[in-house]
Structure 1
Amino acid sequence: MTPASANDGKTLYQGSTMQSLRKLLTLSALTTTLLMSGCASIVGDSKYPVNVSSTPSGANFTIQNKQGIVVHNGSTPNTVTLPSGRGYFKGETYTITFKKDGYADTSTTLDTSMSGWYWGNILIGGLIGMLVVDPMTGAMYKLPEDAAGNLGSPLAGEAPKNLTLLEIDQLSPADRAALVRIN
């Protein structure tokens, strides 16, 4: 065996070792990525903007979570960002109470639903994403985009007062006699 052929064998051995090492590192990186991620937490989110509105607008609202803690106060229309999860495999539920002078208070419930991206874990995120990452981050749930409250008609006896302008010629003689001069 000549020295040139001995070096060729050593070079081939080093090349195949490097190639195997690259494959191992690539496989390790892919495995780590798949095990440390969840499909819904990558593609979706765990906090959602919710448009809060009322009929009539200008109502004050209070948002409470399932534990009864006030998480936001404001007036309509408004956009509020709310977390969709409240713990491991638990979606959050919110109660929004609307109040406006002259109207009866009204409440609505805002419930989470399962994110379609959560099921992507079957293909992409694996069991770690499906059973750990997405349930812990709340990314397996989503909130509706809108929440609205209808305060209905004004309460009896508390209807908004209207101002009517009249010329003096439109008043009856009795109403004219009751007028008081102010200048």
Structure 2
Amino acid sequence: MNVRNALAAAAAALLASGCATIVKGGGPEPVSVRSQPSDADVKIYDAVTGIHIASGKTPVLVPLAKSTGFFLGSKYRVVIEKPGFEKREVLIDSHVSGWYIAGNIAFGLLGWLIIDPATGAMWTLDEQVSVDLMPIAPPPPPSAQAPAEKPVARLMTVDELREQHPELASHLVPVVL
């Protein structure tokens, strides 16, 4: 009789548990944010509400909630900036955990429909965000820049030409029409 009660209790515990909750837990998941070069400013925002979640300098490990509610995964917008480099933005989107699918197929509907969705354990986030920051190109040197104004053709009399450009006077040839 005791063996039967023990087996029944074990079966009830398995049916009442969520596999992803047991394996991964429902709390925040650490996400590593790295950049090349390092020491860049990192700001993380909730991608739906725009609320600022966390800040730091790369490399940084940030605990992020996997869920925003029952059956709702989290989304984050990560902004990485460093002076002299182009700003980068990355989206972190939650996705369904393999433990949620595999474990709850084996162990029960309560974990599938209630426990893992309620604890957020059905979701997982990418463990690492890594970006290469591109240097901002310096402006081209003045000699490589296009002239500010295009030259304009202008008619001159022979006298005006001799006055403004005496070096050309010896090259003038009279033309008779």
- TM-score with structure 1 setting the length: 0.68
1:48 match: 29
1:138 match: 120
1:90 match: 72
- Determine the C-alpha separation between the residues in 1 that align with 2:12 and 2:137: 62
1:173 match: none
Residue correspondence of structure 1 range 159-174 to structure 2 within 5 A: none
- Determine the C-alpha separation between the residues in 2 that align with 1:32 and 1:72: 40
What is the Cα deviation at residue 155 of structure 1?
Answer: 4.5
Residue correspondence of structure 1 range 26-175 to structure 2 within 5 A: 26-46=6-26, 47-66=28-47, 67-119=49-101, 120-124=103-107, 126-156=108-138
What is the Cα deviation at residue 80 of structure 1?
Answer: 1.2
The aligned amino acid for 1:87 is: G
Whether the 8 Å CA contact 1:108–1:148 is kept in 2: the answer is no
- Determine the C-alpha separation between the residues in 2 that align with 1:77 and 1:30: 44
1:15 match: none
Give the CA RMSD over aligned residues: 1.7
Listed as ranges, the gaps of 5+ residues in structure 1 are 1-18, 158-183
Residues 49-99 of structure 1 deviation map (CA, whole Å, 9 limit, x = unaligned): 111011221100101123211111000011112121111111111110011
Listed as ranges, the gaps of 5+ residues in structure 2 are 140-177
Whether the 8 Å CA contact 1:59–1:76 is kept in 2: the answer is yes
- Determine the C-alpha separation between the residues in 2 that align with 1:53 and 1:155: 22
- Determine the C-alpha separation between the residues in 1 that align with 2:20 and 2:77: 25
What is the Cα deviation at residue 118 of structure 1?
Answer: 0.7
**Secondary structure of 2:134 counterpart:** coil
- Determine the C-alpha separation between the residues in 2 that align with 1:78 and 1:129: 33
- Determine the C-alpha separation between the residues in 2 that align with 1:56 and 1:155: 16
